[in-house]
Amino acid sequence: MRAAASFRDPIHGFIYADPLERALIDSRPVQRLRSIRQLGFTSLVFPGAEHTRFSHVLGAMELAGRVYDALATRNPDLLENNSSSHGRRLVRVAALLHDIGHAPFSHSAEGLFEEGLDHEGMTLRLLRSSELESVFQHWGKGVESHQVARLLENPETTQERLLAQIVSSELDVDKMDYLLRDSLFCGVSYGSFDLARLLDTMLPLEDPETGAWGLGVDEGGVHALEALVMARYYMFTQVYFNRVGKALELHFNEWLTEVDQHWPADPEAFLELDDISTLTAMRSSESEHALAVVERRYFPMVFETREHLSSEEKSRFEALVPRLRAEFGAAHILVSHAAKDPHRLGESRVLVQRFDGQLEPMEEASHFVRHLGRIDRVRIYTPPLLVAEVTASLQELEGVGA
């Protein structure tokens, strides 16, 4: 009989796994995540950022249980308030497995899957693999792989839709964990927020406009939720969209294109690839783009827009790029477009329950969230020998940088 297990985590303390969770953790798809860095090439900028998707999914699993408990305590008629309930076990497993489809270096080359897949699609294929099917058959005790897949892809019942939001929504455990974890390992404080207060004020709320149940907070949790949004905003501007990190991603994608590398759509072939195998291949390459990553010989940045672009500014910039590429060659003009709505975290809205019981969207309850703008920044990189020429051309074309 497989025993339960415990893991010591720097964010959440001890994380306990039941026999099913332990068997899944021991499987190849989850163990592979030990060799997939959570933040791609960010460790080449923030040396401490060596943490992996493996520790993140354990943290997400732990938080899924905590969020479930918070919601079930506030509405036991909607969710069974029991530590061994089917819903609680299901949502923890879904959180554990939600990232198993990530390609090498995580989001750095998300668009290079065969058959138009993304990491969510690969996750679903891995869930149908014989190895994971066998784990669920032996240890599931009512929790089945197709239930996890449905929760991640297309939840059907009211309870499933609510559980799905715990894993992926505006208030999901994925964001809660990665903000705290990434902030710690990058050595910055931008990602900090009051997790305990947020959990204490979360509750399931029925949207009066749609009739759908979703995750919300009572009025006392507005500032805790604001802190999470602010943490996300600063982590994107200061860490995830770091100019050197984005340059390394560009070089990585250029190298993958040169060698015609795509992430396999076949799950067995996919499991053979990770950061280590990919970096080994880059080290044996003579491509300037491989060397840019391996030896940090990345192109310098010659221009960047402001953090918040107007539509006019964006159109003006987009008109410059073809002219630069025509003058200097497409291979010598690399463009990064970093965009995110940090305050719009998902498709559905977060509701706030006021002290009098009335519901209002978070954008109305929070002046801060209501006025936070979209991050939209574009950068241009070019080889060192062309920096002066490209800069001069930019100034001549549109007065950029003048």
Cβ-Cβ contacts under 8 Å for 379 (sequence gap 6 or more): 243, 246, 247, 301, 303, 304, 305, 335, 336, 338
DSSP state of 355: T
The three-state DSSP-derived secondary structure of 16-52 is: EECHHHHHHHCCHHHHHHHHCECCCCHHHCCCCCCCE
DSSP bridge pairs for 214: 205
Asked whether the beta carbons of 187 and 46 are under 8 A apart, the reply is yes
Identify the residue whose tokens are 């007065």. Answer: 399
What span, in angstroms and rounded, lies between the C-alpha atoms of 313 and 208?
A: 39
Cβ-Cβ contacts under 8 Å for 3 (sequence gap 6 or more): 19, 22
Instruction: Look up 107 and say whether it is catalytic.
Output: no
Q: Indicate the helix (H) or strand (E) that contains 202.
A: strand 202-206
What span, in angstroms and rounded, lies between the C-alpha atoms of 174 and 166?
A: 8
Among candidate residues 119, 251, 289, 343, the one labeled active-site is: 119
Nearest alpha carbon to residue 338 among 237, 188, 251: 237
Cβ-Cβ contacts under 8 Å for 309 (sequence gap 6 or more): 317, 376, 377, 378
Q: Indicate the helix (H) or strand (E) that contains 352.
A: strand 351-353
Cβ-Cβ contacts under 8 Å for 315 (sequence gap 6 or more): none
What span, in angstroms and rounded, lies between the C-alpha atoms of 265 and 117?
A: 7
What span, in angstroms and rounded, lies between the C-alpha atoms of 194 and 221?
A: 10
Q: Indicate the helix (H) or strand (E) that contains 315.
A: helix 311-328
Asked whether the beta carbons of 231 and 272 are under 8 A apart, the reply is no
Asked whether the beta carbons of 79 and 71 are under 8 A apart, the reply is yes
Asked whether the beta carbons of 377 and 306 are under 8 A apart, the reply is yes
- Angle at the Cα of 212 (from 211 to 217), degrees rounded to 5? 110
Q: Which residues are catalytic?
A: 119
